[in-house]
Amino acid sequence: MRRKGVSYAKYGYIFSLPFILVFLVFSLYPILYTAVIGFTDMKGLIPKPIHIMDNPFQNFKDLLFDNASFQQSLLNTGLLWIINFIPQIILALLLTAWFTNKRLNLKGTGAFKVLLYMPNIITASTIAVLFSTLFAYPMGPVNSLFHALGWSDSPINFLQDKMTARGIVGFIQFWMWYGNTMIVLVAGVLGINPALFEAASIDGANGFQTFFRVTLPSLRTIMLYTLITSMIGGLQMFDIPQLFITPAGGPDNATLTTSVFIYGQAFKGSYMYNKAAAASMIMFVIAAVLSALLFYLMRDRDASKLKKQMKKQKKAAKAAARGA
């Protein structure tokens, strides 16, 4: 009698079951419920009976076209993300290039990686308090420094000026996350076949050329991962804008990001859950569209061309088989 091979497939299902259950109850259901709230008139602290609005898309329309704060928050989120991400990716790529350059062979990269990653570990509230004390007005360390260096004659109110407030929030985010990005990129570079690097050095490529023509193209998947996570994180930027300047939102709504706006709508003031839910759904759609765009831009063009060719060949073969 043939002994059946042991199938471990069922253990796979059993092990994933807890996560799926938890996900369904605690993640999927709230997301669907939030989506539904966006179409109702639910607001106020005391639970009242809720109704679907007469015009289901009323909340969405109001937010996008009439609500100046929400429009401002969309603008701020984009602006803060750009201020944060561009220096972050440049510095991370630069550090990656240096840390993985076999010819440079830097010593103590381990220690550096630890130090550069540290800002990410400090809690956001601590950092917010630290930076708001640093930039305090009229007396604060940075103001005193500028005064001592002669760069300014009277104290500058950093937290009151829109552009400096945004700049500081963007800088804090950059400082917190460039270590993380760098570690991810270094891990990606370590996964590249060393034979490629050897071939490049035999062919006489210098560091510059190696980086741009060998490392970067091979990093395509990792770059996609970094871009997607950074973009989604940027769209959800909350902890620093909420805590850094009180009241949350900054001078004249300069650092009001969409998450801060949603939090304010739902949990402060008038407790307008329907508007907050509608805004959350709008952000969800924006994130989905941008992610799809990124996936499309970063697709492996060679692989998709190959797939198309294979498809054509198969079709031709089928047609030939039928015709013959």
Partner 1 sequence: MKRILAVTTTALVMASALSACGGNSNSNNDASSSPSESASASASASTSEVSSNGSGEKVTINLWAFTDEIPNMEAKFIQTHPDLNVEFKNTVIATTDGAYQPALDQALAAGGKDAPDIYAAESAFVLKYTQGDASSYAANYADLGLTDDLVKEAGIAQYSVDIGTLDGNLKGLGYQATGGSFIYRRSIAKEVFGTDDPATIKDAVGPGWDKFFDAAAKLKEKGYAIVSGDGDIWHPIENSSDKGWIVDGKLHIDPKREQFLDYSKKLTDEGYSNGTQDWQEAWYADMSGSGAKPVFGFFGPAWLINYVMNGQVKDTNGDWAVTEPTTGFFWGGTWVLANKDVTKDEAKAKVVSEFIKWITLDTSDTGLQTYWANGTLKDGEPGTKDSVASSVVMAKSNGTVELLGGQNMFEVFVPANANATGKNLTQYDESINQIWRDQVRSYAAGKKSREDALKDFKQNVKDQLGIESE
Backbone torsions φ then ψ of 52, nearest 5 degrees: -70, 135
Q: Which positions ≥6 away from 99 have C-beta within 8 Å?
A: 106, 109, 112, 113, 182, 186
Nearest approach in angstroms of CB 158 to partner 1 is: 12
Q: Residue 22 or 145: which CB sits closer to partner 1?
A: 22
Based on CB atoms, which residue is closest to partner 1, 116 or 214? 116
Can you read off the two tokens belonging to residue 180?
């993380």
Minimum gap (Å) between residue 191 Cβ and partner 1: 19
Compare residues 214 and 222 and give the one whose CB is closer to partner 1. 222
Specify the residue, 21 or 199, whose C-beta has the smaller distance to partner 1: 21
Give the span between the Cα atoms of 193 and 224, in whole angstroms.
19
Which residues sit at the interface with partner 1, rule CB under 8 A? 14-15, 17-19, 21-23, 26-27, 43-47, 67-70, 84, 123-125, 133, 136-140, 157, 160-162, 173, 176-177, 180, 229-230, 232-234, 236-239, 242-243, 247, 249, 251-253, 259, 263-265, 267-270, 272, 275
The terminus-to-terminus CA distance of the chain in angstroms comes to: 46
* Residue 299 φ then ψ, to 5°: -65, 155
Nearer to partner 1, 37 or 272 (CB): 272
In the complex, what is the shortest distance from the CB of residue 109 to partner 1, in angstroms, rounded to a whole number? 23
Cα 170 to Cα 180: distance, rounded to the nearest angstrom: 16
Closest to 290 in 3D by CA, of 247, 225, 232 = 232
CB of 253 to partner 1, least distance (A): 7
Cα R_g (the chain), whole angstroms:
26
In the complex, what is the shortest distance from the CB of residue 247 to partner 1, in angstroms, rounded to a whole number? 4
